[in-house]
Amino acid sequence: MRTIFSDHQLVQHYLDVEVALARVQAKLGIIPTEAADAISAKAVVDNVDFEQMRERTEIVGYPILPLVEQLSDWCDDGLGQFSHWGATTQDIMDSADVLQIREALSLIEADLVAISKVLAELAERHKSTAMAGRTHLQHALPVTFGYKCATWLSSIDRHLERLSELRPRVLVGQFSGAAGTLASLGDQGLAVQDALMDELGLGRPSITWHTMRDNFAEVTGLLAMVTGTLGKIGLDIMLMMQTELGEVLEPFVPGRGASSTMPQKRNPISSELLLAASKIVRQHHGIMLDALVQDHERATGPWHTEWHALPESFIVTAGALGQAHFMLAGLEVNTDAMSRNLGATGGLIVAEAVMMGLAPQLGRQIAHDVVYDCCRSQLDSGGSFLDALLAHPEISGVIGREQLEALVDPVNYLGAAPDMVDRYLAGHHHDS
């Protein structure tokens, strides 16, 4: 990802757009064929004097004029003067950005598919692995670890759908001239635009988008959501890794997560990075949303913020995806700890199950009240929930010990969690 957004790759894309423009204009008879040939032969990034380009860009304010000046000098017989014919700086820069985005989205997609596959495997393997479900950080009801993984997976899969859906809107080139009207090319402007997009393999713009930037904001919106999902996964893993829980551990690598002063530490390094990435990319997306507000036909500053926010969003997202795949692919799942934690309240986690089991005999509200009394009694006395239930006369009069034992076993109250996993995985299409 860093290579895609490097200066060399970006400048090569500038040159790629200039070459494509020269080729299509030669085919349309707008510039000489020999000029297009000369431009095509010379327009390689290795020919660029980057120090000269830097100095001139500081003066001009944009990199395209300094680049075109060099390109013109590279071509013999003045043929380089036919480069950049009828184009404006933003045409070249926007189209180059789209070429970068096209490559970058392919990397994002590959990483999402890889993570999707790992999560599908975890969901299948642990669809019946009972653990405590938690709401407000407290024990709620039993769930399964596979169910938790499948919920993570569902978000990753939706991101893959979003990525596919946004491509036609985002992978659209730019070529509209100084004020967006292609006036400098007379009646051939739209023909050049169409041919250029075909040459670059990009979509044809329905109309100029020099100062309409919702397409790029949609890209960072996707990246913000992707890293947001990864941050949620990372937060769950971090909480489950706490010493008191120990339900999962990030992959063991000697020295990874170690403390400079506490030898016993095994910190959740990847999860921490996922959480940080979610915050960074979210802020960059805020900048991209701010850049939607641009003046007239060419912006006086908002456009410039994209030059930082867009590449950094992709780079941070790529890093987060790499960390997520490493962490999930090697995740150590401690099923014994999950079982131990599930039973930590002595059966209170399935108080709802007992209430619903008594409701047909006592009525729902009365069942709720007597089970609530037993919960308070168990918490006050420290005994078992089962004993508290058996000691309550209203309960013992309508249900036997064997039935109560079944009701207070958390493994018997997983609801449809395993079936939900099976149903989701049956429709899962990103596993290869």
Give the separation between CA 33 and CA 320, rounded to whole angstroms.
Answer: 47
Burial of residue 126, with CB atoms counted within 10 A of its CB: 0-12 exposed, 13-18 middle, 19 or more buried: buried
Contacts of 194 (CB under 8 A, 6+ apart): 204
Could you give the 3-state DSSP secondary structure of residue 67? helix
Is residue 296 among the annotated active site residues? Answer: no
Phi, psi of 332 (to 5 degrees): -95, 115
Could you give the 3-state DSSP secondary structure of residue 3? coil
Which residues pair with residue 131 across a beta bridge?
A: 143
Q: Please, what is the Cα angle at 345 between 343 and 349, to 5 degrees?
A: 80
Q: Would you put residue 292 in left (φ > 0), alpha (ψ -120 to 50) or beta?
A: alpha
Tell me which DSSP letter residue 172 carries: B
Give the separation between CA 233 and CA 151, rounded to whole angstroms.
Answer: 10
Is residue 259 among the annotated active site residues? Answer: yes
Q: Which two tokens stand for residue 403?
A: 């039935």
Burial of residue 113, with CB atoms counted within 10 A of its CB: 0-12 exposed, 13-18 middle, 19 or more buried: middle
Burial of residue 167, with CB atoms counted within 10 A of its CB: 0-12 exposed, 13-18 middle, 19 or more buried: middle
Name the catalytic one among 259, 308, 381, 396.
Answer: 259
Query: In the chain, count of helices (H) and strands (E)?
Result: 17, 4
Place of tokens 């409701």: 359
- Cβ atoms of residues 35 and 76 within 8 Å: no
Q: Which of 229, 221, 103, 109 is nearest to 163 (CA)?
A: 109
CA distances from 101 to 92, 257, 313, 354, 377 (A): 14, 34, 11, 55, 61
Place of tokens 């495997």: 121
Give the distance from CA 188 to its chain's centroid.
41
Task: Give me the active site residues, please.
Answer: 136, 259
